Amino acid sequence: MREKLLGEIAARLAEVAAANPAQDFEKNARAVLATAFARLDLVTREEFDVQSEVLARARKRLAELEAKVAALEARSATPT
């Protein structure tokens, strides 16, 4: 699938390069690439960083909760 998509991108860029002067090529190439990237379900670096922070907080909270559960289990396992 990716090979087909990359082939389509290359073909579209070749068409744009052949049909447009150099100054228009960059603008048209950006439009072609933006469309292709949208089809790949990519995320921005900012979105990635935000989700990484959310995941780090969730992991920290999970570790805290696991420690609490372990302490409660230890307490309930000790004879009174």
Domain match, 1 and 35 both: yes
Domain residue limits at 66: 43-80
Closest Cα to residue 32, out of 18, 2, 15, 12?
Answer: 12
Q: Regarding predicted confidence, which is higher, 18 or 57?
A: 57
Closest Cα to residue 37, out of 13, 16, 14, 9?
Answer: 9
Closest Cα to residue 66, out of 74, 78, 56?
Answer: 74
How many domains, in total, are found in the chain?
2
Domain match, 18 and 47 both: no
3: confidence class by pLDDT, cuts 50, 70, 90: confident
Is the alpha carbon torsion for 3, 42, 58, 60 positive or negative?
positive
Please state, rounded to an integer, the average pLDDT across all residues of the chain. Answer: 84
User: Residue 44 has which token pair?
Assistant: 């921005």
Average of per-residue pLDDT across 52-74: 97
CB 34: neighbour CB atoms within 10 A? 9
Q: Regarding predicted confidence, which is higher, 12 or 76?
A: 76
73: confidence class by pLDDT, cuts 50, 70, 90: very high
Tens of pLDDT, residues 21-60: 666 777 777 788 888 877 887 888 999 999 999 999 999 9
Domain match, 2 and 38 both: yes
